[in-house]
């Protein structure tokens, strides 16, 4: 561990290198960025060691998919988890720097809306603190949900521009980009990952939160001079639409455009995350994915990432050449699900028309999942069309994402014991009666 004298010397040297200024003339943000940069150096070796240990031991790894992650400010928690907060607070005080003021210069990552995101972040913290191989997968929102100010006693919303300065904790991994395929007119979209280290408390374990940004594919290879007069304008419109995928958490779904964008976001997350995981598994453990469920576990936090179920089926069948039965067995042994919503009117559904137009191949797979599941229900409840209709994945022109999540998972739970009982006795009672072994409580 560094001494206070070493801390002070390193801080002043790094401040000059980063901000090009003296200690007396530096801002609180300059000081925050300097300390965070030094902590990044400290984290790097532990992060690499953790990854190499997982690969060498071929440990089964957990991937936690969530549309939200409420991380909070990372500087103070990282210092505490590394066990070096006290020496740095004292060193900075001797340099005349108020640590609290410095720490408050950090901008909160705008990746959340509340409890859903906090639960996800807590799980990541716990996994790393227990030394367990568990990582997060989400979207890197440019503006998050919104920033709120009160003007004359009235709430005023504005964009939360939390990335006005570079996020010091993230590592952009352009070489690990993947391509997500939609139906026309969106086509293929580039997904670029940014990794954030998740540090365990006193465990020497550093796991990863991977956040995805949407970008136009091969933007700079376009010959603009060959385009028609309105071609540039259309390309800019398309670019803005693509980048909107990772701009705002929960776009306004009262209107068709916002509703459509939410579905695009959800498939973007599911496909980018799964492609990245499968590529890593094949690179480190070989191309045979028949043992995938023994190598990884995928957990979906509410129904927003539920499209990992048909997307994993697509990858196993279309890219790996498996038959339906083998792919389904692997998928349903790999994915588990936490339900957050118990109000029927708040459950996530998509119209068949909208879903099929944006995700034609995924719709084919969801349709087949529904057909086969309804056939199972018919065997158990012959002639009971009311019960079968109430449990179907697709019914009355809608795709019910809760039903898809339950049917495609090996484990279903609520966010608390009471919540789990409500699922079993009310909201998902028919599913509990059909497959009681799936339901459990974990918190």
Same domain for 282 and 266, yes or no, is yes
Lowest-pLDDT range of 68-72, 80-84, 152-156, 242-246:
152-156
Question: Cα 209 vs. chain centroid, distance in angstroms?
Answer: 8
Say whether pLDDT at 221 is over 60: no
Output the six-digit token pair for 104: 């408050």
Q: How confident is the model at residue 189 (pLDDT cuts 50, 70, 90)?
A: very high
Note the pLDDT tens digit of each residue in 340-379. Answer: 998 888 899 999 999 999 999 999 999 999 999 999 999 9
Which pLDDT belongs to residue 101?
97
Note the pLDDT tens digit of each residue in 222-262. Answer: 555 555 666 677 778 888 999 999 999 999 888 899 999 99
Which pLDDT belongs to residue 357?
96
Same domain for 224 and 292, yes or no, is yes
Q: How many domains does the chain have?
A: 2
| DSSP three-state, residue 154 | strand
Per the prediction, the chain carries an average pLDDT of 93
Helices 4-19 and 85-94 sit at what angle, rounded to 10 degrees? 70
- What are φ and ψ of residue 237, in 5° steps? -60, -45
- pTM of the model as a whole: 0.95
Same domain for 187 and 324, yes or no, is yes
Residue showing tokens 């349903």: 332
Same domain for 208 and 245, yes or no, is yes
Mean pLDDT (whole number) for 25-31: 96
Lowest-pLDDT range of 7-21, 111-125, 170-184, 212-226:
212-226
Whether 95 and 128 have beta carbons less than 8 Å apart is answered as no
Note the pLDDT tens digit of each residue in 252-294. Answer: 888 899 999 999 999 999 999 999 999 999 998 777 899 999 9
Task: Say which residues have a Cβ less than 8 Å from residue 249's Cβ, sequence separation at least 6.
Answer: 67, 68, 110, 111, 112, 113, 139, 141, 144, 145
Same domain for 155 and 81, yes or no, is no
% of residues, the chain, pLDDT over 90: 81
Which pLDDT belongs to residue 153?
86
Which pLDDT belongs to residue 245?
97
Mean pLDDT (whole number) for 111-130: 94
226 in a structural domain: yes
Beta-carbon count within 10 A of 148 CB: 10
Whether 222 and 317 have beta carbons less than 8 Å apart is answered as no
Say whether pLDDT at 167 is over 90: no
Strands 134-139 and 154-158: unpaired
Which pLDDT belongs to residue 224?
53
Instruction: Tell me the C-alpha distance between 8 and 323, whole Å.
Output: 62
| DSSP three-state, residue 211 | strand
Residue 274: which CATH number? Answer: 3.40.50.2000
Q: How confident is the model at residue 219 (pLDDT cuts 50, 70, 90)?
A: low
Task: Say which residues have a Cβ less than 8 Å from residue 176's Cβ, sequence separation at least 6.
Answer: 193, 276
Same domain for 11 and 49, yes or no, is yes
Lowest-pLDDT range of 94-103, 194-203, 228-237, 246-255:
228-237
Output the six-digit token pair for 239: 């670019």
248 in a structural domain: yes
Q: How confident is the model at residue 113 (pLDDT cuts 50, 70, 90)?
A: confident
360 in a structural domain: no
Same domain for 236 and 132, yes or no, is yes
User: Interior CA angle at 97 toward 95 and 98, to 5°?
Assistant: 145
212 in a structural domain: yes
Instruction: Tell me the C-alpha distance between 336 and 382, whole Å.
Output: 29
Beta-carbon count within 10 A of 173 CB: 13
Beta-carbon count within 10 A of 154 CB: 7
Give the closest residue to 71 by CA, choosing from 127, 141, 120. Answer: 120
Same domain for 31 and 178, yes or no, is no
Instruction: Tell me the C-alpha distance between 249 and 109, whole Å.
Output: 12
Whether 180 and 272 have beta carbons less than 8 Å apart is answered as yes
Strands 335-338 and 411-413: parallel
Buried b (16+ CB within 10 A) or exposed e, 286-295: eeebeebbeb
353 in a structural domain: no
Strands 171-172 and 188-199: antiparallel
Beta-carbon count within 10 A of 157 CB: 10
Give the closest residue to 15 by CA, choosing from 3, 32, 1, 2. Answer: 32
Instruction: Tell me the C-alpha distance between 209 and 278, whole Å.
Output: 16
Same domain for 171 and 217, yes or no, is yes
Whether 203 and 128 have beta carbons less than 8 Å apart is answered as yes
Mean pLDDT (whole number) for 185-190: 91
Mean pLDDT (whole number) for 8-26: 95
26 is in which domain, residue-wise?
1-56+74-107
Same domain for 79 and 213, yes or no, is no
Same domain for 170 and 219, yes or no, is yes
Note the pLDDT tens digit of each residue in 304-319. Answer: 999 999 999 999 999 9
Task: Say which residues have a Cβ less than 8 Å from residue 338's Cβ, sequence separation at least 6.
Answer: 119, 299, 300, 301, 302, 412, 413, 414, 415
Which pLDDT belongs to residue 318?
98
Same domain for 52 and 196, yes or no, is no
Strands 171-172 and 178-181: unpaired
Which pLDDT belongs to residue 233?
75
Whether 137 and 63 have beta carbons less than 8 Å apart is answered as yes
Give the closest residue to 247 by CA, choosing from 236, 234, 262. Answer: 262
Mean pLDDT (whole number) for 133-142: 97
Say whether pLDDT at 411 is over 70: yes
38 in a structural domain: yes
352 in a structural domain: no
391 in a structural domain: no
Instruction: Tell me the C-alpha distance between 352 and 355, whole Å.
Output: 5
């Amino acid at each position: 561990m560094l001494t206070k004298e070493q801390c002070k010397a390193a801080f002043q040297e790094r401040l000059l290198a980063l901000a090009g200024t003296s200690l007396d003339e530096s801002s609180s943000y300059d000081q925050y960025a300097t300390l965070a940069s030094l902590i990044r150096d400290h984290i790097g070796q532990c992060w690499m060691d953790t990854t190499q240990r997982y690969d060498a031991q071929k440990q089964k790894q957990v991937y936690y998919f969530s549309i939200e992650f409420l991380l909070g400010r990372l500087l103070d928690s990282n210092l505490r988890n590394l066990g070096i907060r006290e020496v740095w607070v004292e060193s900075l005080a001797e340099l005349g720097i108020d640590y609290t003021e410095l720490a408050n210069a950090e901008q909160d990552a705008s990746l959340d809306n509340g409890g859903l995101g906090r639960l996800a972040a807590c799980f990541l913290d716990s996994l790393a603190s227990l030394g367990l191989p568990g990582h997060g997968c989400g979207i890197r929102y440019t503006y998050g949900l919104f920033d709120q100010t009160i003007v004359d006693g009235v709430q005023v919303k504005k964009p939360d521009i939390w990335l006005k300065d570079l996020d010091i904790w993230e590592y952009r991994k352009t070489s690990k980009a993947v391509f997500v395929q939609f139906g026309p007119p969106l086509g293929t979209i580039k997904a670029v990952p940014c990794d954030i280290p998740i540090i365990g408390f006193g465990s020497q374990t550093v796991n990863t939160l991977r956040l995805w940004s949407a970008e136009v594919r091969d933007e700079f290879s376009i010959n603009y001079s060959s385009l028609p007069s309105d071609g540039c304008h259309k390309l800019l419109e398309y670019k803005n639409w693509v980048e909107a995928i990772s701009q705002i958490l929960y776009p306004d779904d009262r209107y068709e455009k916002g509703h459509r964008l939410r579905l695009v976001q959800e498939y973007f997350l599911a496909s980018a995350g799964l492609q990245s995981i499968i590529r890593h598994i094949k690179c480190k453990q070989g191309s045979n994915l028949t043992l995938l469920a023994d190598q990884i576990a995928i957990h979906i936090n509410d129904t927003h990432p539920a499209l990992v179920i048909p997307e994993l089926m697509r990858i196993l069948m279309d890219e790996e050449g498996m038959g339906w039965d083998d792919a389904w067995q692997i998928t349903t042994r790999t994915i588990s699900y936490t339900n957050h919503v118990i109000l029927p009117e708040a459950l996530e559904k998509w119209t068949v028309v909208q879903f099929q137009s944006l995700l034609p191949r995924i719709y084919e797979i969801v349709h087949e999942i529904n057909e086969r599941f309804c056939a199972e229900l018919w065997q158990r409840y012959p002639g009971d069309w009311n019960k079968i209709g109430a449990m179907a994945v697709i019914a009355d022109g809608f795709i019910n994402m809760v039903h898809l999540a339950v049917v495609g998972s090996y484990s279903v739970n609520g966010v608390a014991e009471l919540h789990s009982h409500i699922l079993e006795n009310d909201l998902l009672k028919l599913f509990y009666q059909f497959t009681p072994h799936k339901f459990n409580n974990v918190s």
